[in-house]
Amino acid sequence: MTKRGVCLSTLLVALAGTGGASAQLISIKTVPVAQGDQFAIFPSHNLGMGGVSIALADTLLDPFVNPAKGARLGVARFFGAPVFYSVSTEAGGGRTLPLGALLRAGSWYGGLSLALQEVDASRRNVSPPIFIRLASDAMAQSVPDLGPDARSHGNTFALAMLGKVLPAARLSLAGSVLWARLTAVDGADLLYAGSDHVRQFGHAVDVRLGVLKEWAGDRSLEALVLHTRYGMTHDVTYLDWFWDPGTQQVLLRPRVERNLDRTNTWGLHLEYERPLTAPGWRIGWLATGNRMSHPKIPNYEIMNIPRDPGHSNAYNFGIGISKQRGAATFGIDAIYEPIWSTTWADALAPITTRLGDTIPAGGRTIENHFRFSNALLRMGVSRELEVRGLGRAAALQLGLVVRSTRYWLRQYDHVQVSRRNQEEWWLEWTPTWGVSLRFPELEIRYRGRLTSGTGRPGVAGTASFGVDDRAFATAGILVAPSGPLTLDQVRVVTHQVSLSLPLR
């Protein structure tokens, strides 16, 4: 058996935006594959501060993370938040244009949003074998025409929100539904090493029901129940070389493999915050539980385990502190994530083991047991600046996000009657920054972030590779059937410009 791993990346982790959204949907990842901020489709006030959110309100993003927080909406607003991200070494990128409105009428409030997105393909050309490059022109003409492989693909997102405030009880109840039609998930095509085309299509649905209770003294408790369904299909085309004795030529023929990617998640999130006795200080706590079922995980070349369903239990526990003094604000979040995940491969027909026993059809041939101990640290500062005639109409933000991923794998091979253990660990670093201007008629904000410590898969034509970044050296470089596989170090840069206009 070759060395195997599983990339169970919960791509919906950012469907509610950036920053605090990761507390409600917990990401699972076993290889440090870089993914662009494709799903950061909503504006965020605290993104430039590292997305600090536990003890510091994010007035722009909070209603999309927990719809019950829309009760804090002061006036109706129209917003737009164009997002641009790129992956270094020309390994991909994308652009998103979200438009929406948050409305209020008496004790009722709601919101609508629509986003159109374009994702650039991240595929790299793979050099053919040497004997093919030296072949004749006649042999080259044997390559089948599969049509053009589009450089960009479009996605569509739509969100609807509705809530009600009960003023006497200082309670708000709300729900939201986010639907996405997807034809491209960033980086997925690179996980099929040696393929010629990867056609993606599918959808995602995110349903949230939230409650917000507030008390005197600026204390609050929020609860959120969510359910997400993520379903994608990958039609992967490979070109196989074969010798045709009739024409005495080496020819190509296409082979299409269909891979399904299915993950369903139920989640519960609780968060409490209150001021401290010291002036300007606030503290908050959160706890989250996710139960995920994986009816089908794609047979990526990076893992090479066919027909592998599974399930996961993921939790996080966090504490946050913020301090506001005059025009300056500081915040820090610390979150711990214990996760248990199990995946397996089953037999299509009876299989004889190395010891002569028989595994019946439907029995497990491989079992993978993962135990994660992840940590997330977010910190940031903000400083408002005086503008003549406008007061504190400008602000600067700086922040840093550090994510540590560590897991232990116990793999049981029931065919070879063997067991192996593996431990992996890496760090992801994300500095952030932001600038904002506030006028009586509108607010303009720019937020940026740069993520390093992750990579993109690449196929090489030689038998050995060097890994420059120490994070990759301990991250489990997997050997794929199509040839040696490595993760090339890349950086993901994201820019977001948001405009907010009060509707009066």
Q: In whole angstroms, what is the distance from residue 113 CA to residue 157 CA?
A: 8
Strands in 144-218 per DSSP E? 152-166, 171-182, 197-215
Two tokens, residue 52: 């600090």
- 483 neighbors 461 (Cβ within 8 angstroms): yes
What is the mean pLDDT of the segment spanning 485-498?
A: 83
Determine whether 332 is exposed, middle or buried from the number of CB atoms within 10 Å of its CB (0-12, 13-18, 19+).
Answer: buried
pLDDT digits (tens, 9 = 90+) for 104-142: 998 999 999 999 999 987 755 444 444 444 444 444 445
pLDDT at residue 169, rounded to an integer: 94
Give the per-residue pLDDT at 490: 87
Cα–Cα distance measured from residue 276 to residue 282, given in angstroms and rounded to the nearest whole number: 5
Residue among 423, 419, 427, 388 nearest 409 (CA): 423
The span from the CA of 150 to the CA of 383, in Å, is 44
Paired tokens of 354? 């190395």
Tokens of 483: 């040839």
- pLDDT grade for 90, boundaries at 50, 70 and 90: confident
Alpha-carbon span 154 to 164, nearest angstrom: 35
Q: What does the alpha-carbon distance between residue 484 and residue 482 come to, in Å, rounded to a whole number?
A: 7
Q: Is 191 strand, coil or helix?
A: helix
Give the number of C-alpha atoms closer than 13 A to the C-alpha of residue 103, restricted to the C-beta side: 10
> Residue 7's CB: how many other CB atoms inside 10 A?
19
Q: Taking residues 54-74, what's their average pLDDT?
A: 92
pLDDT at 463: 30
The one-character DSSP state at 73 is -
Buried b (16+ CB within 10 A) or exposed e, 311-326: ebebebebebbbbeee
What are the extents of the domains in the chain?
A: 11-144+154-167+181-502
Confidence class of residue 84 from pLDDT cuts 50, 70 and 90? very high
Using one digit for the tens of pLDDT, what is the confidence trace for 420-466? Answer: 888 888 999 999 999 999 888 889 999 999 999 888 765 333 333 23
Please say if the pLDDT value at position 472 is more than 70.
no
Question: What's the pLDDT tens digit per position in 25-34?
Answer: 998 888 787 8
In angstroms, the Cα distances linking 313 to 72, 217, 262, 310 are 32, 36, 16, 11
pLDDT at 22: 60
pLDDT at 415 over 60: yes
Asked if the model's pLDDT at residue 284 lies above 90, the reply is yes
pLDDT tens per residue, range 214-249 = 999 999 999 999 999 999 999 999 888 888 888 888
Q: What are phi and psi of 70, to 5 degrees?
A: -65, -15
Portion of the chain with pLDDT greater than 90, in percent: 54
Phi, psi dihedrals of residue 100, rounded to the nearest 5°? -170, 180
pLDDT at 39 over 80: yes
Q: Determine the pLDDT at residue 37.
A: 83
Q: So what's the pLDDT on residue 346? A: 86
| pLDDT, average across residues 486-498 | 86
Q: Got the DSSP string for 101-141? A: EEEEETTEEEEEEEEEEEEE------PPPHHHHTS-HHHHT
In this structure, the dihedral spanned by the alpha carbons of residues 16, 17, 22 and 27, taken in order and rounded to 10 degrees, is 80
| DSSP H or E segment with residue 62 | helix 62-65
Question: Quick one: which of 237, 29, 32, 34 has its CA closest to 122?
Answer: 34
Distance CA 341, CA 408 (A): 10
Percent of residues, the chain, with pLDDT higher than 70: 82
Single pTM value for the model: 0.84
The answer to whether 305 and 299 are in contact (CB under 8 A) is yes
Q: CATH 2.40.160.40: does it fit domain 11-144+154-167+181-502?
A: yes
Q: DSSP of 475-488, one letter per residue?
A: S-PPPBTTB-EEEE
Confidence of residue 11 (pLDDT cuts 50, 70, 90): very low
3-state secondary structure of 98: strand
